[in-house]
Chain A
Amino acid sequence: MSITYLEAIREAQAHLLREDERVFIYGQDVSGKFGGAFKATKGLAAEFPGRVLNTPISEDAMVGTAIGAAMEGMRPIVEMQFADFSSVALNQILNNAGTQYWRTNIPCPITVRLPSGGTKGSGPFHSQSMEAIYSHYPGLVVVAPATVEDAYTMLIDAVAIDDPVIYCEHKYLYYHLKADALPKDRLPIGKARIVRPGRDLSIVTYSAMVHEALAVAKQFSADGIEIEVVDLRSVKPLDTDTVLASVARTGRLLCVGESFPWGGATAEIVARVATEGFHLLDAAPARINAKDTPIPYHPNLWSEHRPNAKSIAAKARQVLAE
Chain B
Amino acid sequence: MLQTAKRAGDSASHKAVPHERYLEAFRWMLQTRIFEDKLASLYRGGMITGGVYIGRGQEAVSTACGLFLQKGDVLAPLIRDQAARATFGEPLLNVTRTYLGSRQGSMRGRDGNIHRGYPEAGQLAMISHLGAMIPVVVGKLLAKRMKGEEGFVGLTTIGEGGMQTGATHEGMNIAAVEKVPFVLVASNNHFAYSTPNDREFACAHLVDRARGYGYEGHQIDGTDLAACLEVIGGAVERARAGGPPQLVVAQLLRLAGHGEHDDASYVPPEMKKERWAQDCVALTEQLALKNNWLDAEALKQWRTEISAEVDKAVETAQREAAPVGSEEDWCAMSTRELVDVVGE
Residues of B within 8 A of A104 (CB): 106-107, 117, 119, 125
Verify B146–A24 contact, CB threshold 8 A: yes
- Chain B 137-159 near chain A by CB (<8 Å), digits 1 or 0: 11111111011000000000000
Which chain A residues have a beta carbon within 8 Å of chain B's beta carbons? 24, 50, 55-56, 58, 60-74, 76, 91-92, 95-96, 98-107, 138-139, 141, 161-163, 189-190, 236-238, 240, 272, 275-276
Q: Does B129 contact A (CB under 8 A)?
A: yes
A102 touching B110 in the complex, CB below 8 Å, given contacts A61-B170, A163-B334 = yes
20 contacts between A and B (CB under 8 A): A24-B146, A60-B132, A64-B135, A64-B136, A65-B138, A65-B142, A68-B137, A68-B139, A69-B139, A72-B144, A99-B111, A102-B331, A102-B332, A104-B125, A162-B335, A163-B333, A189-B338, A236-B340, A238-B340, A240-B342
Q: In the bound complex, what is the Cα–Cα distance between A76 and B140 (angstroms)?
A: 12
B147 contacts across to A, CB distance below 8 A: 72-74
Provide the residues of chain A in CB contact with B141, threshold 8 Å. Answer: 68
Also in contact, A95 and B139, with CB within 8 A (given A65-B178, A104-B106, A237-B338):
no
Q: Which residues of A contact B125 (CB under 8 A)?
A: 100, 103-104
Q: Complex formed: what's the CA distance from A231 to B34 in Å?
A: 61
Question: Nearest residue in B to A268 (C-beta to C-beta)?
Answer: B342
Nearest CB on B from A206, distance (A): 14
- A272-B107 contact in complex given A61-B135, A72-B144, C-beta closer than 8 Å: no
Q: In the assembly, what is the distance between CA of A207 and CA of B107, in Å?
A: 38
CA distance A66 to B171 in the complex (A): 12
Q: How many A-B residue pairs have CB under 8 A?
A: 146
Residues in A with CB closer than 8 Å to B42 are none
User: What are the residues of chain B within 8 A of A95 when measuring CB–CB?
Assistant: 127, 129, 132
User: Using Cβ atoms and an 8 Å threshold, which residues of chain B touch A56?
Assistant: 170, 173-174, 177
- Complex partner residue of A101 from B107, B111, B170, B332, CB under 8 angstroms: B332
B132 touches A91 (CB 8 A): yes
Roughly how many angstroms separate A95 CA and B132 CA in the complex, as a whole number?
10
Contacts of B142 in A (CB 8 A): 65, 68-69
Q: How far is the CA of A106 from the CA of B340 in the complex (A)?
A: 20
Report the Cα distance A119→B333, complex, angstroms: 34
On chain B, the number of residues with a Cβ less than 8 Å from chain A's Cβ atoms is 48
Q: Which of B127, B170, B342 has the most CB of A within 10 A?
A: B170
User: CA separation between A272 and B144, bound complex, in Å?
Assistant: 45
Contact of B111 among A103, A141, A161 (CB under 8 A): A103
CB pair B174–A55 under 8 Å, yes or no, is yes
- B139 and A272 contact, CB distance less than 8 A: no
B115 touches A103 (CB 8 A): yes
Nearest CB in chain B: distance from A127 CB, A: 24
Residue among B117, B166, B340 making CB contact with A60, cutoff 8 Å: B166
User: Which residues B148-203 have CB closer than 8 A to chain A?
Assistant: 166-167, 170-171, 173-174, 177-178
**Which chain A residues border B140 with CB–CB below 8 Å?**
68-69, 71-72
Are A64's CB and B132's CB within 8 A? yes
| Contact partners of A101 in chain B: CB under 8 A | 332-334
Residue of B127, B143, B335 touching A73 (CB-CB under 8 A): B143
Whether, in the assembled complex, B339 has its beta carbon less than 8 Å from a beta carbon of chain A, the answer is yes
List the A side residues contacting B340 at CB < 8 Å. 236-238
- For residue B1, CB closer than 8 A to chain A, the reply is no
B93 at interface (Cβ–Cβ under 8 A)?
no
Which one of B132, B144, B333, B339 contacts A92 once the chains associate, using CB atoms below 8 Å? Answer: B132
Interchain nearest-CB distance for B173 vs A (Å): 6
- B341 — which chain A residues lie within 8 A by C-beta? 237, 240
Nearest 7 CB-CB pairings of A with B: A68-B139, A64-B135, A72-B143, A61-B170, A237-B340, A58-B170, A65-B139
Most central of A64, A163, A240 by chain B CB within 10 Å: A64
CA distance A91 to B331 in the complex (A): 21
Q: Is B45 an interface residue (CB 8 A)?
A: no
Closest residue to B149 on the A side, CB-wise? Answer: A72
Find chain B residues with CB under 8 A from A238 CB: 340
- Contacts A69-B139, A70-B139, A71-B140 given: A58-B173 contact, CB under 8 Å? yes
Q: Does B18 contact A (CB under 8 A)?
A: no
Extra contacts, 7 of them, besides A61-B134, A71-B124, A106-B119 (Cβ < 8 A), are A61-B171, A64-B138, A65-B142, A96-B136, A99-B111, A102-B332, A103-B115
* Cβ contact of B136, chosen from A67, A102, A107, A236, cutoff 8 A: A67
Residue pair B129, A91 in contact (C-beta under 8 Å)? yes
Query: Is B337 in contact with chain A by the CB < 8 A criterion?
Result: yes
What B residues does A275 contact at CB under 8 A?
Answer: 343-344
If A95-B127, A103-B107, A163-B334 touch, whether A272 touches B343 (CB-CB below 8 Å) is yes
A89 to chain B, nearest CB (A): 10
Least Cβ distance of B337 to chain A in Å? 7
Determine if A60 and B110 form an interchain contact, defined as CB atoms under 8 angstroms apart. Answer: no
